[in-house]
Amino acid sequence: MVDVELFVKETSDHSISSEEEDILVRSCSNLNVSFGYHCDSHQSFSPENDHGNGISPKNTFGTNTMMGSRNGSFTCLSGAAISANFTLANTNICNGLIGEEILPELDSPNSFRKIVSSPSMSRLDSFSTSQGSPVSTESSIFEISKNLWRSSAPTTVSSNFLTNTEVKMAGGAAGEDRVQAVCSEKNGWLICGIYDGFNGRDAADFLAVTLYDNIVYYLYLLENRIKQQNGLYNSSESSLDGLKSELTLAMRNSENEDIKFSETFRSGVLNCLSTAVEQAENDFLCMVEQEMDDRPDLVSVGSCVLVLLLHGTDLCILNMGDSRAVLASMPYVENGALKAAQLTETHSLENPSEYQRLLAAHPNDSSVVRGNKIKGKLKVTRAFGVGYLKQRKFNDALMGILRVRDLSSPPYVYTNPHTLSHKVTDDDLFVVLGSDGLFDFFSNDEVVLLVYQFMHDNPMGDPAKYLIEQLILKAAKEAALTAEELMRIPVGSRRKYHDDVTVVVITLGNAQRTMTASTSM
């Protein structure tokens, strides 16, 4: 808990003067991703309403009335990122699926836009029609989705809870980071992903293109199970996009007093996220194996994974690696003290429990950690990809100093994610998602307080972009440089001062504020 008034005084050194702001606007050419979104279905906040109740403007967020609208999962969203690492142009890994045809559509948008229908959609619908009934087993839908994905662009299930016509997407790239946000305002859904790549951008690219579609598949399977359990399938229903969505209804039911059902349902959603990541991992390593004769470097490419799924008052989190999701809340019972709660685990050698777990898994290996890195190569203990620390055949593809000489008992990096569900309350204000580069400079408390104060002072501003600006100023100060001098250092060389940084700020529920997109790059 932190005193907000004290924070205002203590952080005065981090405020941006008009001269510094002008410098940042001119020099932040690498602020690749800057998008904002405000739910049209929510009414803007009128400050006069709270004054009448004796509530100070400082505690505006504490008056959140998210239950006023069933679809009020979130009100505003902003995202921003800055590059530090130099990366090559889009690759043609996976038979061209990750290349110029897809990724530029996600790069550096200024606002959300509708997703274009997938070219493989019709084939999925045709399959369902030819079978006479919706696919009902995970194994069969897995094989169908995998085959369709390999033969064309990624697929999207035409289920009503996330229909093509209702879904909007934003995303972008910053160095080796990738960010993605998909929402369906009508049905109150929001899915955000931050993929912090390392040793190359291929794994993060792969996740940006495929993981969302995998999640949709397994949520659709969950929907099917709910329908089957409730006897809602009709033999005359033969098309996927003709089905009434029971998943949204189930989410509504999960908020009733049936605690057992609610917990079971949220567990099902978390399992969907985990299974989607597992499928993506298997597919990625399969493609790496096919390509490694020509590109052996792919066996060392990996990515951290952070995914948030929000619907109504259900918030589900999945993470592997050291990206974080931090929840800001202001409980009335604690006199309005602002609190920061980390919703993710830190999967790196800096986490003592992860360090000890790694050593315990390899009792007969005396060189598990060398130079504060796993086998002298990597600090994160759980990650997507990075096959050479998981399987011998991938390590054998490398030569010279790149190869791990004593890979005695793989895997050394794991893919089992951390998952968590949280029931959003009126005390919860916003969630900050960030790659680890953000937390190299700010603690959880500092991040939450910076965002809170900025939102209070700039109700129409872009809090994610503000966090990036504050990070630039702090990084410059620590390097005894001005912000302008730091931004003049080319990408690649600037990595010694800060990492790639990606930030997403989600204002929860019917928070009484509005926000417009920041489009100045």
Q: According to the 3-state scheme, what is the secondary structure of 425-461? A: CCCEEEEEEECHHHHCCCCHHHHHHHHHHHHHHCCCC
State yes or no: pLDDT of 486 exceeds 80: yes
Per-residue pLDDT reduced to its tens digit, 414-460: 999 999 999 999 899 999 999 999 999 999 999 999 999 999 999 88
pLDDT-based confidence at 305, cuts 50/70/90?
A: very high
CA distance 298 to 53: 59
State yes or no: pLDDT of 21 exceeds 80: no
Question: Average pLDDT in the 172-188 region?
Answer: 84
Q: Is 420 left (phi over 0), alpha (psi -120 to 50) or beta?
A: beta
State yes or no: pLDDT of 95 exceeds 90: no
- The continuous run of DSSP H or E covering 20 comes out as helix 18-27
The reported pLDDT for the residue numbered 292 is 87
390 against 83, higher pLDDT: 390
Q: Is 423 helix (H, G, I), strand (E, B) or coil?
A: strand
For 331-355, letters b (16+ CB in 10 Å) and e give: beeeebebbbeebbbbbbbebeebb
pLDDT-based confidence at 110, cuts 50/70/90?
A: low
Fold of 26-36+70-115+159-230+257-512: Phosphatase 2c; domain 1 (3.60.40)
Question: Average pLDDT in the 221-250 region?
Answer: 55
109 against 470, higher pLDDT: 470
Mean pLDDT over the full length of the chain: 74
Per-residue pLDDT reduced to its tens digit, 117-170: 443 333 333 333 333 333 333 343 334 333 433 322 233 333 444 444 567 888
CA distance 88 to 181: 24
Per-residue pLDDT reduced to its tens digit, 332-363: 766 778 999 999 999 999 999 999 999 999 99
Question: Average pLDDT in the 238-253 region?
Answer: 46
The reported pLDDT for the residue numbered 17 is 58
395 CA to centre of own chain = 29
DSSP of 207-220: HHHHHHHHHHHHHH
pLDDT-based confidence at 252, cuts 50/70/90?
A: low
Q: Where are the domains of the chain?
A: 26-36+70-115+159-230+257-512
